[in-house]
């Protein structure tokens, strides 16, 4: 089954069918965790595609190919890598905000409130007219029509949605817009001469990546590029809300600097960094960075040869193109939580999230895959490239791979064995303690992936590039 899923990724890179046979896949098939969705096959395929793309870049650098392998169980564990972190021997809490969750609304419908960020929590509580108390929120949501509440929260600049079935979502105009798009676009947006890879002894040695993304999907992309030798500089700002533990999950291999793009001086610092970069990864809603002169076309003028990776929640087309969204929101509105709840009820009946953050991490892996394909094209034909993807497109792809038959979903373990987790884990010395975490998944015969830098607190470094390898 994983081979079939990998075949859906071949056209993105323009690869022939034979590339499937170059990837060794072990670890069995779905179901690996309690969900009907083929999260194992999709994660193994996405990570395997990254391995094949890295092998291509290594071959263009050295003339030598590599053997590539992925374990499906390990790939699946990586879809909730934040769960397996320990700092100085103590578990790192990944608890969500207490009022975040799914609530019964009028007429047997359900509403999801995304409340992890303070601004989104304030928006939801403001619409409901209650304090931060789960019982009060529950009583307030019960008085609302779920669709009207969805629109009210979005209008208040919050995030959430009405729970739909897969069939209901298929009839929605935004679902139609997403279905009209490929999984990911890699578009040439400017001309420039071919660029050979910088000198170095790793596939991405000397490649510089600016990471202007947040939460999980985008940061996972940059983390993935770092594990193959890229220099990654995460750009955030002190005024932006964040969920602290996620930075230790997605920060491996990165430097981190604060720049306030509302300030012209900091914006000019960023533009200076762009001039010396290779990949610019951003996760703002479509058009947002264009207001600061940071659109794909503007950066292709500023740095000819740039690979601009652009992530959004619901894509750049359709009535929801500018809507805020997260993995959990996409699960909610597209029917995933409805189906998961039908098959795997929770302590309280109703919609359920699947047991990983599949859309988030899969999107991050696919963003990295797209960036690698664009970099390889730059070495052959030059040009600036736009890699464009959304959480909703990845959700559409995941659901489109079909579901595990109900008869195969009995007694599926909810956790990996301690021996497996020990084998997949490693330790890093960070500025705030010794972090135990999952290591890279892809196995490469010549250049095993590794992170050259530990995770650091946000804003820990100056906004300057390290020297390239000599």
Tens of pLDDT, residue by residue over 177-228, are: 999 999 999 999 999 999 999 999 999 999 999 999 988 999 999 999 999 9
Instruction: List domains and CATH numbers for the chain.
Output: 1-414+422-470 (3.40.50.10540)
- Which pTM was predicted? 0.97
Poorest-confidence range of 3-7, 264-268, 288-292, 358-362? Answer: 288-292
The dihedral sign for the CA sequence 389, 390, 394, 399 = negative
How does the average pLDDT of the chain come out, rounded? 95
The Cβ of residue 164 has, within 10 Å, a number of other Cβ atoms equal to: 25
Query: From CA 28, how far away is CA 24, in angstroms rounded?
Result: 12
Evaluate whether 258 touches 464 at the Cβ level (below 8 Å). Answer: no
Asked, as a colleague might, if the bond just before 192 is cis with ω within 30 of 0, I would say no
Structure tokens at 402: 């079909």
CA distances from 335 to 36, 240, 330, 352, 399 (A): 12, 31, 8, 10, 9
Burial (CB < 10 A; 0-12, 13-18, 19+), residue 87, is middle
| pLDDT tens digits, 106-123 | 999 999 999 888 889 999
Looking at mean pLDDT, say which of 43-52, 94-103, 285-294 comes out highest: 43-52
- Residues 137-166 have pLDDT tens digits of 999 999 999 999 999 999 999 999 999 999
* pLDDT single digits (tens) 327-376: 999 999 999 999 999 999 988 889 999 999 999 999 999 999 999 999 99
Q: What is the pLDDT of residue 26?
A: 97
Residue written as tokens 């975040």?
100
> Which three-class secondary structure state does DSSP give residue 104?
strand
Beta strand 160-162 with 185-190 is unpaired
């Amino acid at each position: 089954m994983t081979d079939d899923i990998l075949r859906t990724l071949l056209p993105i890179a323009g690869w022939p069918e034979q590339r499937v046979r170059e990837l060794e896949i072990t670890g069995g098939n779905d179901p690996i965790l309690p969900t009907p969705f083929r999260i194992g096959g999709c994660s193994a395929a996405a990570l395997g595609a990254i391995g094949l793309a890295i092998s291509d870049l290594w071959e263009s650098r050295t003339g030598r190919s590599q053997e590539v392998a992925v374990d499906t169980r390990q790939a699946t564990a990586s879809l909730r890598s934040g769960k397996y972190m320990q700092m100085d021997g103590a578990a790192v809490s990944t608890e969500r905000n207490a009022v975040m969750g799914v609530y019964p609304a009028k007429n047997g419908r359900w509403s999801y409130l995304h409340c992890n960020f303070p601004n989104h929590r304030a928006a939801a509580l403001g619409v409901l007219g209650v304090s931060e108390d789960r019982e009060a929120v529950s009583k307030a949501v019960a008085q609302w029509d779920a669709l009207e509440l969805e629109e009210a929260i979005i209008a208040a600049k919050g995030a959430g949605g009405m729970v739909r079935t897969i069939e209901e979502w298929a009839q929605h105009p935004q679902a139609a817009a997403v279905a009209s798009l490929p999984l990911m676009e890699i578009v040439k947006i400017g001309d420039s001469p071919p660029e050979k890879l910088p000198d170095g002894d790793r596939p991405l040695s000397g490649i510089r990546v600016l990471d202007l993304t947040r939460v999980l999907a985008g940061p996972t992309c940059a983390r993935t590029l770092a594990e193959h030798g890229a220099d990654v500089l995460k750009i955030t700002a002190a005024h932006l809300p964040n969920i602290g533990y996620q930075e230790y999950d997605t920060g491996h291999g990165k430097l981190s600097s604060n720049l306030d793009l509302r300030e012209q001086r900091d914006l000019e610092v960023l533009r200076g960094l762009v001039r010396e970069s290779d990949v610019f990864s951003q996760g703002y809603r479509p058009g947002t960075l264009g207001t600061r002169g940071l659109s794909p076309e503007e950066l292709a003028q500023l740095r000819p040869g740039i690979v601009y990776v652009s992530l959004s929640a619901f894509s750049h087309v359709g009535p929801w193109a500018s809507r805020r969204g997260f993995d959990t929101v996409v699960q909610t509105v597209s029917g995933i939580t409805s189906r998961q709840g039908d098959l795997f009820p929770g302590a309280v009946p109703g919609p359920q999230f699947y047991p990983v953050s599949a859309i988030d991490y899969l999107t991050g892996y696919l963003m990295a895959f797209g960036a690698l394909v664009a970099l390889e094209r730059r070495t052959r034909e030059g040009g600036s490239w736009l890699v464009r993807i959304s959480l909703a497109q990845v959700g559409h792809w995941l659901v489109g791979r079909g579901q595990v038959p109900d008869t195969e979903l009995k007694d599926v373990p909810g956790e990996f064995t301690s021996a497996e987790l020990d084998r997949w884990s490693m330790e890093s010395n960070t500025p705030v303690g010794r972090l135990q975490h999952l290591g890279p998944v892809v196995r490469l015969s010549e250049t095993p992936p590794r992170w050259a830098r530990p995770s650091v607190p946000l804003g820990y470094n100056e906004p300057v590039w390290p020297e390239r390898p000599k």
